[in-house]
Amino acid sequence: MSTTMRAAVINRTGPAEVLEIAEVPVPPKISAEFLIEVHAAGINPIEAKSRAGGGVSAAFTGFPVTLGADFSGVVVESPYVTHPLEPGTEVYGMSSTPRIPGTYAQFAPVSEMSVARKPKNLTHIEAAGVPLAALTAWGAVVDVARAHEGQRMLIHAGSGGVGHFAVQFARYFGAHVIATGSTRNVSFLRELGAAEVIDYTTSRFEDEVSEVDAVIDLIGNVKDNTGSRSLKTLRKGGLLVNVPTGSWTGFFEEAADAGIRATDYKVSPDARTLDTITRLIEDGDVKVHIDRVFPLAEAAAAHAALEEGHTRGKIVLDIAGS
């Protein structure tokens, strides 16, 4: 194989336009890593924040930087000869970027602990939209909020990348799901399994719902103080889970003053959990929605589209077809 590859890189932090296509060395795999031929890569808000100088940009040790966590592709090199995921196996997962080079590239090294077999019923484009968003939703809804039968759970931004998985996981485990979204997404959210949908363009959710057991806050206070207003909807002893990085200054103090249990959540690229999510996808219990697909050469346009907001599901880079 070639020693170089095409990748979308940044040479400084800034607006979407700083993403450019470059020919860079194929990164070597080390120790218990795979080398993956990337067919498609999901676009996530944390990557846009990092590109702009926030997010995880403090971990950048130099430029150029290849962004991207989500991938779906094919194993080129396995950690060792008898590994069950041998070369040629279709896989997907989530890379720990920027500790290692990211997935907006034709090839990527990925830890053995972060690679799972791709769902048989998904294309690479569809599969690339799953890992980070679904693992984040699972962690917040299942591991932290412990979704269960009879629980009342309010999920903000239910039609977004993380949100549309959060709604489905909460519904799967029996929770009564109340989701917020825009007018155009009301029907979509009901199809995902939300028992109640609050159109935030016409109603204030805190006037419509109360005494919920858990809030999955995927917005924070970056828009209309959604996080602070959510505190009013919880029952005594309820739990608020805030997910987006840097979205609510003073989060813990404000929740404590209101007498509400609260935690943030950071996703773990755990292939074992992804295997469980794979089974739900293959059984038809969970679906991924792909909003738009961009070629690798238009990575900057993909970031710009994400930052416009109102994405339903996920935006994906088609790398194999570029």
81-112 pLDDT tens trace? 999 999 999 999 999 999 999 999 999 999 99
Instruction: Count the alpha carbons within 13 Å of 22 in the hemisphere toward its beta carbon.
Output: 15
User: Is the CA virtual torsion 47, 51, 55, 56 positive or negative?
Assistant: positive
d(CA 21, CA 308): 22
Average pLDDT value for the chain: 97
**Considering the entire predicted model, what is its pTM?**
0.97
**In residues, how long is the chain?**
322
* Domains and their CATH numbers in the chain: 4-130+288-318 (3.90.180.10), 133-264 (3.40.50.720)
Helix, strand, or coil here: 209? coil
User: Are the CB atoms for 223 and 243 separated by under 8 Å?
Assistant: no
Q: Quick count: other Cβ atoms within 10 Å of Cβ 291?
A: 19
Specify which residues 36 forms β-bridges with. 75, 108
Tell me the backbone φ, ψ of residue 225, rounded to 5 degrees: 50, 40
152-168 pLDDT tens trace? 999 999 999 999 999 99
Is the confidence at residue 15, as pLDDT, over 80?
A: yes
d(CA 302, CA 310): 13
d(CA 61, CA 52): 16
**Confidence tier at 322 by pLDDT (50, 70, 90):** low
Tokens linked to 268: 């773990």
Give which of 306, 4, 286, 237 is closest to 127, Cα–Cα. Answer: 286
18-41 pLDDT tens trace? 999 999 999 999 999 999 999 999
d(CA 147, CA 109): 34
d(CA 207, CA 196): 14
Average pLDDT over residues 196-205: 97
Provide the terminal-to-terminal Cα distance of the chain, rounded to the nearest Å: 18
269-310 pLDDT tens trace? 999 999 999 999 999 999 999 999 999 999 999 999 999 998
Q: Cα separations (Å) of 295 from 16, 70, 85, 313, 315?
A: 15, 15, 27, 18, 11
Tokens linked to 201: 């363009």
229-240 pLDDT tens trace? 999 999 999 999
d(CA 166, CA 189): 11
